[in-house]
Amino acid sequence: APTIQRSDYTPLAWNIENIELHFALDPAATLVTSRMRCVRRASAADPLRLLGEELELVSVSIDGRPAEDSRLKRGEGWLEIALDDDRAEVGIVTRINPQANSALSGLYVSRGGFFTQCEAEGFRRIAFFPDRPDAMTRFTVTLEADAADYPVLLSNGNLVEEGALAGGRHFAKWVDPFLKPSYLFALVAAKLVALERRVKTASGREVLLQVWVEEGNLDRTPHAMDSLVHSMRWDEEVFGLELDLDRFMIVAVSDFNMGAMENKGLNIFNAKYVLAKPDTATDVDYENIESVVAHEYFHNWTGNRVTCRDWFQLTLKEGLTVFRDQQFSADMLAQAAGEAGAASARAVKRIDDVRVLRAAQFPEDAGPMAHPIRPESYQEINNFYTATVYEKGAEVIRMLHTLLGAEGFRNGMDLYFSYHDGQAVTCDDFVDCMAEANGYDLDQFMLWYSQAGTPRVKAAGAWDAASGSYTLTLSQHTPPTPGQPDKAPLVIPVAVGLIGPDGKDLPLSLEGENHGGATTRVLVLSEAEQTFRFTGLAAEPVPSVLRGFSAPVILELEESDERLAFRMAHDADAFNRWDAAQRYAERVIFALAADVASGRALVLPEAFAAAFRALLNDGALDPAFRAQAAALPSETYLLERMEPADPAALRVAMMHVMRELGKGLAADWLAIEAAMEVPGEYHYHPGDAGRRALGNLALKYLAAGGVTEGLARAETRFARFGNMTEGFGALAALVQSASPAREVALSRFHERYRDDALVLDKWFALQASVWRWDASAAPVLGRVRALMDDPAFSLANPNKVYALLGSFFRANAAEFHAPDGSGHAFWADQVIALDGRNPQVAARMARALENWRRFTPALRQSIRAQIARVAAAPGLSPDVAEIVGKALA
């Protein structure tokens, strides 16, 4: 596939003032009629160039008359129409086959209904159009379908007309008053029911909110609706942004490639991020629903009202909107925790976000797909909905927020909307507004948009007892990434605190400054190396660097075990307290993995167990934080940091740590498990969720340690569970153990939820990610293969693929990388099979092996051979071809 370069951007020659679309919906042959009012821009001589894929062209008219063939030119994926005048009304009729659309991009059928997904380039699979985000137009859409099979007909904007038609058909006409690009177009025609709520916006306008689902699922909609109302309020309060339509709809669909889509006024969601009731959804599901609903809602301003000029600017809307949803969730958690618990609640959210960044984005930044948050080129845009664009993009926005302060950031946002509402713009436009509103030079900051790779920040301290001063030297280095051998210094906000010998933070005064007293300071590192001197100190402090994870970097700071234990016990910054525990755990696990590799006996260091135990039992800390602090770093993150990556040795080391902590701290875990019980009926509440998380973690350690009483509690809890968080927690503990009860529990769970697709996804995922605690158990690949034959599994449903195959490839390294290479061959078979049906899903699975060069030599050889096998498969999609091509380069 050709490579598209950011620098090749050229403005459109034709503006489409409006488009009228008519859909005669039929699963096998839907007729799409479009009428576009086209106006030539400037004095361009070019023909009207439209994009279209998998479309059967029926007819073209110009100003109401059939177009002569000589005016039409068609190539692979495009249609050009030569127009004489500067204005024309172009009519096009095409036929499409939604039922055959297994890629789930464009118009497709899911469980008998019609749904669309147009981002990034799906609209061209529906109609000929300049399908790029800077082609903004006004849409009027008429849907016509069989009334019995498709009683609900939805599109963007406002419903202006509906009625019956001959032959049992009916129609609905929708007008979207706002300019929008084609990627925000949506339609739904299906048998659905809605939960409705009418609310008033800040300015007093009444709006109708609807959550549409299949009949039978209405009892799973209230949480999504509450989340929507909370999101609306938050955007009004924090950013002064109000809903601009009279109606806002969320529709749940079972077959969907990603999480959700922010189509104007008609958000379409993967059902997983809408449906929740206590006995089918866990606390984490409830949290995810709240944040995805918020994310899509926030796009209404950051993405829809102001959109991207081209797809290279994707982080303009995604990084910013992820930052906004992270802030929203943190505020919701803080609000629920009350004033006393607010800081800890925010830290828990920050830890969650950083865990995701470290496990998903850091590896991406260190591999063949490394790209800046604004990529310079791509072959397939769908491959660039990445952790870098989203999560690192959000970190870049967060750094602006840190540098400018909440008020300065808000002023920048206000200016952004005042300049660019209704426009398709670039990341430079956004950062320029931040700079202008604050009189702050952000030229060097823009390097975050163009440089890939995770910067390393080294911190080294020197204590001078004679002058009572502490010198902190910060230096930075960003390793080379594909196409970027040399990197310039970035602007990096580094939040720092100094801890006194009594464990309390010291007031900070920086040499050369006459104000001071704060206990955390943001130092701005903008050169390769800089020195900061803190004065007026009575004793040597312990530095706490990168508090709150103030920048998306890897911090290199030499610390003894004692110092890590000290910070685990005392760091006033909750994020860094957690991070100290993670660093200590990582050190211990890597040392054990080295012992495994060289055949030495494994011994868990007592000092680590003691520090871990003290943190775990600190009753002053809230349970959600203790659950975070006691969870080991993820295997994916550790593998990324291991040189060379040896999944088998790492797994043995991690199992050893869990077993020893489970057994050794059995009494603590049992007491915690009992104390964390939440009495009464289940209601989602962050405080209760924290207690349940810690209780579940206790069961997990107890089960790993083979503690009889712990396993008995898991069995009892599983036998009488009333909510999914506790039930699945107990099941997971049993399955992740050597207990003989695990198979019975799995089949009981299956019996109870055999007809519930979303719950079965959990059942598939758990089995694919199981560790072999019982040495006699068979390799997990055999089970994954068998589960593919389960009637509930289907390669056509992305959620099933992600649950079973995705969990095996991404969350079970030791089993996936079995030394005989069977996992790698299986991976290649599945990527090839998936690619024939759904290239986007196949490409996501393909990415599981891109960092193959980091592995031990034998694994490297095996993986390389299988990537080459995929690369040589005939008819490979551009999506998968780009991934495997870059992996082999």
- For ligand HT7, the closer CB: 394 or 490: 394
- For Zn ion, the closer CB: 78 or 417: 417
Least distance (Å) between residue 118 CB and ligand HT7 = 9
Least distance (Å) between residue 786 CB and ligand HT7 = 30
Q: Look at residues 184, 195, 172 and name the one whose alpha carbon lies nearest to residue 131.
A: 184
Q: Using CB atoms within 10 A of its CB, is residue 359 exposed (0-12), middle (13-18) or buried (19+)? A: buried
Strand partners of residue 162: 172
In the list Zn ion, ligand HT7, none, the entry touching 120 (Cβ below 5 to 8 angstroms by class) is ligand HT7
Strand partners of residue 30: 96
| 580 token code pair | 């100290």
The SS3 call for residue 783 is: helix
Q: Look at residues 57, 66, 17, 64 and name the one whose alpha carbon lies nearest to residue 38.
A: 17
Segment near Zn ion (CB under 5 A), from 310-318, 349-357, 764-772, 808-816?
310-318
- For ligand HT7, the closer CB: 261 or 431: 261
Does residue 102 contact residue 36 with C-beta atoms inside 8 Å? no
Q: What crossing angle do the helices spanning 606-616 and 574-597 adopt, rounded to 10°?
A: 150
Instruction: Considering the candidates 121, 214, 290, 296, report the single residue annotated as catalytic.
Output: 296
673 is catalytic: no
Pick out residues in 778-817 that bind Zn ion (CB under 5 A): none
Number of residues that bind Zn ion (CB under 5 A): 2
Q: Look at residues 402, 663, 679, 740 and name the one whose alpha carbon lies nearest to residue 546.
A: 402
Least distance (Å) between residue 243 CB and ligand HT7 = 17
Pick out residues in 715-734 that bind Zn ion (CB under 5 A): none
Q: State which residue has the least CB distance to ligand HT7.
A: 258
Pick out residues in 311-340 that bind Zn ion (CB under 5 A): 318, 321
Least distance (Å) between residue 69 CB and ligand HT7 = 35
Q: Which residues bind ligand HT7 (CB under 6 A)?
A: 117, 119-120, 257-258, 260-262, 295-296, 299, 318, 382, 385, 840
- For ligand HT7, the closer CB: 186 or 580: 186
In the list Zn ion, ligand HT7, none, the entry touching 607 (Cβ below 5 to 8 angstroms by class) is none
In the list Zn ion, ligand HT7, none, the entry touching 327 (Cβ below 5 to 8 angstroms by class) is none
Strand partners of residue 851: none
Q: Using CB atoms within 10 A of its CB, is residue 405 exposed (0-12), middle (13-18) or buried (19+)? A: exposed
In the list ligand HT7, Zn ion, none, the entry touching 387 (Cβ below 5 to 8 angstroms by class) is none
CA angle 354, 358, 363 (to 5 degrees): 155
- For ligand HT7, the closer CB: 262 or 640: 262
* Distance of alpha carbon 368 from alpha carbon 345, whole angstroms: 36
Least distance (Å) between residue 695 CB and ligand HT7 = 33
Q: Which CA distances in Å does 854 have to 360, 589, 850, 860?
A: 15, 18, 10, 8
Least distance (Å) between residue 843 CB and ligand HT7 = 10
Does residue 376 contact residue 427 with C-beta atoms inside 8 Å? no
Alpha helices in 558-707 (DSSP H): 561-570, 574-597, 606-616, 623-630, 635-641, 647-664, 666-675, 686-704
* Distance of alpha carbon 389 from alpha carbon 385, whole angstroms: 6
Q: How many CB atoms lie within 10 A of CB 776?
A: 6
In the list Zn ion, ligand HT7, none, the entry touching 840 (Cβ below 5 to 8 angstroms by class) is ligand HT7
- For ligand HT7, the closer CB: 313 or 382: 382
Least distance (Å) between residue 336 CB and ligand HT7 = 25
- For Zn ion, the closer CB: 427 or 474: 427
Least distance (Å) between residue 23 CB and ligand HT7 = 21
- For Zn ion, the closer CB: 313 or 866: 313
Just list the catalytic residues.
296
Give the binding site for Zn ion (CB under 5 A): 318, 321
